[in-house]
Amino acid sequence: MAENKPPQGRIMALELAPGPLDQAMQAYFAKCEEKLGFVPNVLHAYSFDLAKLKAFVAMADDLMLAPSGLSKLEREMIAVVVSCANHCHYCLVAHGAAVRRLSADPVLAETLVANYRAAKFDRRTRTMLDFCWKLTETPWLIEEDDRQALRTAGFSERDIWDIAAVAGFFAMSNRISSATAKEPNREYYSMHR
Amino acid sequence: MAENKPPQGRIMALELAPGPLDQAMQAYFAKCEEKLGFVPNVLHAYSFDLAKLKAFVAMADDLMLAPSGLSKLEREMIAVVVSCANHCHYCLVAHGAAVRRLSADPVLAETLVANYRAAKFDRRTRTMLDFCWKLTETPWLIEEDDRQALRTAGFSERDIWDIAAVAGFFAMSNRISSATAKEPNREYYSMHR
Amino acid sequence: MAENKPPQGRIMALELAPGPLDQAMQAYFAKCEEKLGFVPNVLHAYSFDLAKLKAFVAMADDLMLAPSGLSKLEREMIAVVVSCANHCHYCLVAHGAAVRRLSADPVLAETLVANYRAAKFDRRTRTMLDFCWKLTETPWLIEEDDRQALRTAGFSERDIWDIAAVAGFFAMSNRISSATAKEPNREYYSMHR
Amino acid sequence: MAENKPPQGRIMALELAPGPLDQAMQAYFAKCEEKLGFVPNVLHAYSFDLAKLKAFVAMADDLMLAPSGLSKLEREMIAVVVSCANHCHYCLVAHGAAVRRLSADPVLAETLVANYRAAKFDRRTRTMLDFCWKLTETPWLIEEDDRQALRTAGFSERDIWDIAAVAGFFAMSNRISSATAKEPNREYYSMHR
Amino acid sequence: MAENKPPQGRIMALELAPGPLDQAMQAYFAKCEEKLGFVPNVLHAYSFDLAKLKAFVAMADDLMLAPSGLSKLEREMIAVVVSCANHCHYCLVAHGAAVRRLSADPVLAETLVANYRAAKFDRRTRTMLDFCWKLTETPWLIEEDDRQALRTAGFSERDIWDIAAVAGFFAMSNRISSATAKEPNREYYSMHR
Amino acid sequence: MAENKPPQGRIMALELAPGPLDQAMQAYFAKCEEKLGFVPNVLHAYSFDLAKLKAFVAMADDLMLAPSGLSKLEREMIAVVVSCANHCHYCLVAHGAAVRRLSADPVLAETLVANYRAAKFDRRTRTMLDFCWKLTETPWLIEEDDRQALRTAGFSERDIWDIAAVAGFFAMSNRISSATAKEPNREYYSMHR
């Protein structure tokens, strides 16, 4: 097992020493370094326990990168909008940067961080984000009418699943970040401006 | 690849045809049948896509079954309390049954479904559930004082992670269930009464 | 005046010694024992003061049992839905049991306890419960449109009164139960499962 | 049975024709006329059904007028504070007038209608009203600490019941008033200024 | 510089000694005395700093008195409705009196203080007040549909600005009043009854 | 009167043609161009009416620039935190840039936009921002204890006024921006990164 160099400084309020990574995760961390220039702190945070790290990576990558009727940008936009409703510092900074990277549009990213309703979206995007906001704030009020609005805006059954799954994932991720006071990597703040 | 018998009737509002299971998932579904008498509808719901199913199972089982400073019952109690705050039908029914199974105490289970504050918990349990309720309703207000209350009640750094991770997982799961109008298996309602 | 045997254990957080019952209330308590097998703790709670007990019984029985365009089951469904919005332990347990008794449908009862929107109601029932939820959460927003929706769903002027009166009664009863930490009788949990 | 003269104009949004009053209620209405100069519209509203009218009067009079550790003014102050939280037009106008009558202090009454926290109350009154506000807004959060705060402020077990019962009664009454759009009698607005 | 006689008693929780007034403000205070019989405490509160006082007076008078498509009464109605949503004691008392003065209708004023939805407004007024309530409670949800509703109810672009500006001004004024516990002048309570 | 060149494109949803500026405002706009490189759209928005523009500028400049116990950076931090609670696009973008300018710390600015609780503030700053958040969300709950917390953190009576006045000003400004869908100047997004 290779060494897992801890990042400089505390990355979250909890003191959980990183454990050894297996080859797959070593390769994964190396790829992050290569592509992003750093390993996201969310991965460092999970690295105290290899099984939890691998489960998180498997789910996150499937949701955000696997083939879907939603573009990668749409999925990152959902991440930012859910994180806005939850005032999640880590996710707004990290996924705000991802929106800038995928859209090459810093104005879009900062508008989503502030209030997605201020952006001039087409019906598809707006309906998707309205659904995510409602699902975030009052999941018990989501009903067939809400799903029907997505269908009318052009989304398939599978797309609706993906919208719900991405919004749900950030409901989780926001809470783990807030509960552990996870710090965003400093690089995120200035990337893709 | 073996066949994946769909359950009788609709299990959720979305029409997503189940795909083939690999051997591991076939074995997993078989084990559910053997232990519970049925395959939970959450698994049927995810079975339209093998990668998503496997990622969900890996994360759920790690969180709810892997070694932890939290007992399995404590983890199921968190599931019910988060689901109560979110009025999640599927999770209240399924995890209410799990609390009955693990505690052999239907009164406890129904009290958690209604309002955990009405139960006479010791400080450890109460502090844990108060943290989960706050993390569910207002994640942006969670701070060091909240973590410190958990430490004072006897929880370790790793325990705090597990509390947050389980509460976060049901923030996700509640929303996917509500967004897809997932039906609980009928067996849950009467189990372990 | 006959004796009023106190129940075993504390029935609420307040220490209020039960007073003597008059003949009418003795007969009423005896009928409860005969029909239910026990005297509901709400009656024990009020029995510290005969006038208050009698006023409560008169109003509760008129609302829940007197002739009305609403069936008894509908009135109990309102009780559960209001109590769900208020997370009232006593009322969810006691009136959940009443829904099971009147409907012979434990699935219905537990669904109402969790989230009535997950049940497949016809328009009449759904409109009635939507009205009650709104009246419970934001009474100041109830207006003619809301009443008109009830009329369109087939309710008469008198039915609307009854819906409001039952929902209002549980707004009261939930608060008195929560303020006094009233315990449901243990028998309720398993009745009519 | 004597005639029950309906008031001029609509008294609520529902059209429910007043029924005949029995002797006791005739006497009661006559006493209202004598003391107040009019019959409160809440009584007209209930008079479509004698049993409901009598149950309401019995409970309201017991709560507001029977011997209690709470003064009549304290009970009316609770009525106004609960009605403020619920923005109940009928009850704010009618019970605001009652506070003016009992306190001879229109400034107190209007301050309670606006925000009781702006009044300079002693600890007893303030603790009582804080309890009522919390019980009104979030009954599920009321716990032993809240009751203990009342005890520390000098309230007995029976007083706590009375506080809860009056606050609960207006939770009900506010909702029935809002649901039926009940109009306050015009006389209330200018009485005891 | 002329003397600025402080009012009797504390006018707010903060101790900020009034400074000297310039001629314009002396004349302004004198005019208040002449017209109202007293200087509103909001002016005394600001008089610790002449620049702040003059900026406040300039903005308030422009908004409430300058030519506008909104009548002065409409502007005062907005003040009361916003202050109702914010439970602002000072503004409800002072602007409730202004509504009585301008409308000669104490019933209207007290209804607005309680819940404007209970008044029988024409579409114009109702749409305006609904817009203000939403802008007060959830400004981030205001969108083109809300502006369009105002246009459909007959308001011009400039009118919409004025509605927003008056509602916004009381969002500010309510908060400064609450933050400083500003007392309404006693005269307001009984004026124009 | 000099010409007031309108900016390119719509600056808000309302169509209000800019009117002529007087000399003072011409000079003011020129100074903005010189210092910032552009005239903030909030000024263009108000320029349909010279009196309103001048009143706004007088109040804004007094609050944000005049001598105060609060530094200019502290006042801009309040602007961002209030605007975060209100999800105000215009103010988050414009005042986020101001925080970057005054602090030379883009991390601070983006953290405030996301959730000020994630920043590591000393007690003074944290107490100030907690007060502002509470004043923004629930002004009716602000009381002497809240003011006392500010005093204990080192703020004077005058400082408390200034904190309340700045927070109140953005309660207003956020609402006017949202009500008119005011667009931030594009330059803000990239300034001082």
Burial class of residue E23, CB neighbours in 10 A (0-12, 13-18, 19+): exposed
Q: Say what angle helices A106-114 and A72-85 make with each other, to 10 degrees.
A: 30
- Is residue C120 scored above 60 in pLDDT? yes
Rounded CA-CA distance E35/E25 in Å is 15
Return the closest-CA partner of residue B66 out of B165, B138, B193, B134.
B165
Pair of tokens at residue A122 = 């087409």
Return the closest-CA partner of residue A16 out of A36, A37, A41, A40.
A41
Q: How far away is chain B from the Cα of A127, in angstroms, using its nearest Cα?
A: 14
Percentage above 70 pLDDT, chain D: 96
CB atoms closer than 10 angstroms to residue C44: 23
Whether A167 contacts A17, CB under 8 Å: no
Q: pLDDT band for A2, please (50, 70, 90 cuts).
A: very low
Give the angle B24-B26-B28 at the CA atoms, nearest 5°: 70
- Is residue A4 scored above 60 in pLDDT? no
pLDDT at D29: 98
pLDDT at C1: 41
Q: What digits encode the pLDDT tens for the residues C45-99?
A: 999 999 999 999 999 999 999 999 999 999 999 999 999 999 999 999 999 999 9
Considering only CA atoms, give the Rg of chain E: 17
- Is residue E49 scored above 80 in pLDDT? yes
Amino acid at D191: M
Q: Specify the residue for token string 């990164």.
A: F193
* DSSP tag of D193: -
Whether C92 contacts C113, CB under 8 Å: yes
pLDDT at A1: 41
Which residues, at least 6 apart from B94, have a Cβ–Cβ distance to it below 8 Å?
A: B40, B42, B184, B185, B188
- Tell me what the mean pLDDT of segment B91-104 comes to: 98
Cα B4 to chain centroid, rounded: 23
Q: How far away is chain A from the Cα of F92, in angstroms, using its nearest Cα?
A: 7
DSSP line for E52-84: HHHHHHHHHHHHHHS--SS-HHHHHHHHHHHHH
pLDDT at F10: 84
ipTM score of the complex?
0.96
- Tell me what the mean pLDDT of segment F38-52 comes to: 98
Q: State in Å, rounded, how far the first CA of chain F is from the last one.
A: 37
Q: What digits encode the pLDDT tens for the residues C9-23?
A: 789 999 999 999 999
Rounded CA-CA distance D57/D21 in Å is 13
Measured in residues, chain C has a length of 193
- Is residue C3 scored above 60 in pLDDT? no
Q: Among residues 74-113 of chain E, which lie with CB inside 8 Å of chain D?
A: 84, 87-90, 92-93, 96, 106-107, 110-111, 113
Q: Say what angle helices F106-114 and A89-103 make with each other, to 10 degrees.
A: 110
Rounded CA-CA distance F67/E96 in Å is 35
Instruction: Please report residues of C whose CB lies closer than 8 A to that of B186.
Output: 107
Instruction: Please report residues of A whose CB lies closer than 8 A to that of C112.
Output: none
- Is residue F6 scored above 80 in pLDDT? no
Whether B135 contacts A135, CB under 8 Å: no
pLDDT at E9: 73
pLDDT at D9: 73
Q: What digits encode the pLDDT tens for the residues D86-104?
A: 999 999 999 999 999 999 9
Q: Say what angle helices B50-65 and B23-36 make with each other, to 10 degrees.
A: 50
Rounded CA-CA distance F44/F62 in Å is 19
Q: How many contacts (CB atoms, under 8 Å) link A and E? A: 4
pLDDT at F20: 96
- Tell me what the mean pLDDT of segment F164-177 comes to: 98
- Tell me what the mean pLDDT of segment B38-65 comes to: 98
pLDDT at E1: 42
Which residues, at least 6 apart from F147, have a Cβ–Cβ distance to it below 8 Å?
A: E13, E14, E179, E181, F160
- Tell me what the mean pLDDT of segment A12-33 comes to: 97
Rounded CA-CA distance E13/F145 in Å is 11
pLDDT at D6: 58
Q: Among residues 132-151 of chain C, which lie with CB inside 8 Å of chain E?
A: 140-141, 143
Alpha helices in chain B (DSSP H): 23-36, 41-46, 50-65, 72-85, 89-103, 106-114, 123-137, 144-152, 157-180, 187-190
What's the Cα-to-Cα distance from F39 to each of A107, E115, F30, rounded to whole Å? 19, 41, 8
Task: Give per-residue burial for F167-185: e unless 16+ CB within 10 Å, then b.
Answer: bbbbbbbbbbbbbbbbbbb
Rounded CA-CA distance C81/C126 in Å is 11
Q: Specify the residue for token string 């949202």.
A: F178
Q: Which of B89, B107, B110 sits opposite C111 (nearest CB)?
A: B89
- F8 in reach of chain A (CB within 8 A): no
- Tell me what the mean pLDDT of segment F2-17 comes to: 77
Q: What digits encode the pLDDT tens for the residues A84-138?
A: 999 999 999 999 999 999 999 999 999 999 999 999 999 999 999 999 999 999 9
The Cβ-side half-sphere exposure at D191, using a 13 Å CA radius, reads 20
Q: How far away is chain C from the Cα of E117, in angstroms, using its nearest Cα?
A: 8
Q: What digits encode the pLDDT tens for the residues C137-192?
A: 999 999 999 999 999 999 999 999 999 999 999 999 999 999 999 999 999 999 99
Q: Specify the residue for token string 């449109």.
A: C145
Pair of tokens at residue B139 = 């994640």
Whether E157 contacts F14, CB under 8 Å: yes
* DSSP tag of D141: G
Task: Give per-residue burial for B34-61: e unless 16+ CB within 10 Å, then b.
Answer: eeeebbbbbbbbbbbbbebbbbbbbbbe
- C58 in reach of chain B (CB within 8 A): no
Burial class of residue B107, CB neighbours in 10 A (0-12, 13-18, 19+): middle
Whether D78 contacts D170, CB under 8 Å: yes
- Is residue B124 scored above 60 in pLDDT? yes
pLDDT: is A7 or F173 the higher one? Answer: F173
Q: Which of B114, B118, B190 sits opposite C193 (nearest CB)?
A: B190
Pair of tokens at residue E163 = 């509605």
Rounded CA-CA distance C59/B111 in Å is 27
* DSSP tag of B185: P
Question: Which stretches of chain D drop beneath a pLDDT of 50?
Answer: 1-2
Instruction: Please report residues of F whose CB lies closer than 8 A to that of D120.
Output: none
The Cβ-side half-sphere exposure at B154, using a 13 Å CA radius, reads 9
- Tell me what the mean pLDDT of segment F99-110 comes to: 98
Rounded CA-CA distance F7/A106 in Å is 21
- Is residue E26 scored above 50 in pLDDT? yes
Rounded CA-CA distance D120/F15 in Å is 48
Which residues, at least 6 apart from F71, have a Cβ–Cβ distance to it below 8 Å?
A: none
Q: pLDDT band for B192, please (50, 70, 90 cuts).
A: very high
Q: pLDDT band for B5, please (50, 70, 90 cuts).
A: low
Instruction: Please report residues of B whose CB lies closer than 8 A to that of C177.
Output: none
pLDDT at B9: 73
* DSSP tag of E143: -
Q: Do D168 and C161 touch (CB under 8 A)?
A: no
Task: Give per-residue burial for C80-115: e unless 16+ CB within 10 Å, then b.
Answer: bbbbbbbbbbbbbbbbbbbbbebbebbbbbbbbbbb
Q: Say what angle helices B72-85 and B123-137 make with each other, to 10 degrees.
A: 40
Q: What digits encode the pLDDT tens for the residues A49-87?
A: 999 999 999 999 999 999 999 999 999 999 999 999 999
